Amino acid sequence: MSAVILVVEDEPSIQELIAVTLSCAGYKVMRAGDAESARMQMVDIQPDMVVCDWMMPGQSGITLIKQLRGSAQSSNIPIIMVTARSGDQDAVLALESGADDFITKPFSPRQLIARIYALLRRRSPHLTTDTVRHGELQLDPTTRRVTAGGRVAELSPTEFRLLHFFMVQPGRVYSRAQLLDGVWNMNTFLEERTVDAHVGRLRNALEGIDEQDRIETVRGLGYRFAVQSVSKPVAVGTES
């Protein structure tokens, strides 16, 4: 699943540079020229990450970050602050305000992509293109194939995203609301029973290729991806 990144930058040339860089790297890009426009866009679509300039007309990037961190809907979104300010105190202020990373202008496109990928891998591993394996079950986001013992599972795009979300954090219990937020990735009015339907179809698809019952129901809480040990998933490949 390609990550959706909101670029908040008032200078058109820099906004274009960042947007093109991200698009070429395979990310989906939203654009805003100021804090108000950014907030309005996030009412309909919740991005997976925000790349935010510090100095903008109206409210500053620092103010926007504080507002995002103060909202339950956006409090966990990874944020990278982009600025021409390079002092140590500036970096400390950005991080203390809620930014996850801080990058100083001018910067190279490769540096920005590396920072974005590192942050996504740490905060949202289901949005990377690392191949994940548990036992014989292997999921490759690049080819969108799920295999086990040489057999291939036939999954819909939603079922694939759901399995990926489970596999990168095995053993963790997710409520239906958390799955709607993490897998469907939008401000949605879908009913929680939608999750139950997709989990049921995912289980049926995996039964045809894998002997283990991977998706467990945790009564009163939600679902988790079960593993025989608590070892971390094996990353077979990494994004270039």
Q: What is the pLDDT of residues 110-130, one digit of tens each?
A: 999 998 888 887 767 766 778
Question: Tell me, what's the pLDDT at 87?
Answer: 72
Per-residue burial over 102-130, b = 16 or more CB atoms within 10 Å of its CB, e = otherwise = bbeeeeeeeebbebbbebbbeebbbbbbb
Q: What six digits make up the tokens of 181?
A: 């937020």
Q: What is the mean pLDDT of residues 49-62?
A: 92
Question: At residue 55, does pLDDT exceed 60?
Answer: yes
- Residues 80-91 have pLDDT tens digits of 999 887 777 888
Structural domains of the chain, ranges and CATH numbers in brackets: 4-123 (3.40.50.2300), 129-235 (1.10.10.10)
> pTM of the predicted model, to two decimals?
0.62
Question: Tell me, what's the pLDDT at 90?
Answer: 82
Q: What is the mean pLDDT of residues 10-24?
A: 93
Question: Tell me, what's the pLDDT at 119?
Answer: 84
| 77 pLDDT tier (thresholds 50, 70, 90) | confident
Distance of CA 66 to the CA centre of its chain: 20
- Residues 170-215 have pLDDT tens digits of 888 988 888 887 787 555 566 778 889 999 999 998 988 887 778 9
Question: At residue 240, does pLDDT exceed 50?
Answer: no
The larger pLDDT score, comparing residue 189 to residue 97, is at: 97
Question: Tell me, what's the pLDDT at 121?
Answer: 75
Cite the DSSP H helix spans in the chain. Answer: 12-24, 35-44, 61-69, 88-97, 109-123, 157-167, 176-179, 193-207
